[in-house]
A and B are shown apart, each in its own frame.
Chain A
């Protein structure tokens, strides 16, 4: 297990460096002069030249790349072109909103997804299973912005259970309230996905010999279902949760725009609309790092639970 862990960690280092390289190169290739943008339209040629020297923009590609990489490793993601604030600081301020959103969404998704998956698996082929399948296919196929708008319309406009904007007075008094609708929107989508995975893995597990043995021994159906079935069926779910996290970042761009939440997705969207490149780079980099780290952790848990998978992965990476 230790060897496996080390191998997996070492394998992520070139990926991380590659990501920093790509993000840097894209900025390098973008047309337009960043020094001119910072100096403003009425700056003199001398002032622009000074900024260029200060920022090291007149240095060759490889020197700038090295400077950028070493800065990123030290946690310096540059400053916003528009406000001049350090990008990392802004990201750290915005991240808690999105993390809270993602956590609540994940809880909703896991609870709903697993319940639906189990019901579907034990009623396999019957009406309830069909219904669950239709629901989950629909859930996967409906775009987040549509379900978000419909949920907003029903619960905030028609039923008036929740205010429509996160900046309204009630929401400010009770901040957790503003996460309910957006988290629900994000959560049902991944619940739909999860339900399908749980269903197929549960059906596979319930067909195993040891389940038949447990039945033959006369164990209660519930005990078989939860103790023997579910615990084994949940193993593939771990990977899905890892993949979900990246879909939450994508989803948060849309959801935070619709529900007016000041999280990382809105922050990135605003930066894109204002062409604030250091922020865009910073958010993409942080998003990619979070994805890599979470998937690394999920892989390790996966391998720890199931040694067979570990050997398989080792065999593959050695081949």
Chain B
């Protein structure tokens, strides 16, 4: 539990840093999200390299997704993904019922519109890890009720 707080604090500080550097309209907002996402991407790549050092080679795409839901998520957020669904055609939905980075926010609807900025880094993280494993993807996130969060992973066939 103790090593969880520093990551959250660092993450909030990262948001502060990015958003303080630029205050502006909608275009700026988009750019900040992109910046966070690409930071997450690089971290995901590095982290993946470390986490897969001792695992066997993955059999297929589903195997890779299971790894993300279990080992990867546990490493970053100290819990596993609560629900993984797929349509077997390259779309996966990862649901986390108590997403750590949103846990400290008020559960009402008040901050719902701010959620993209809290999720961008994680989207990048997942995309980076998948890219490291040779799976090109687009990751988006959505929140309907506050601490719960859904990540949609769209695999891009090459």
| Bound together | no
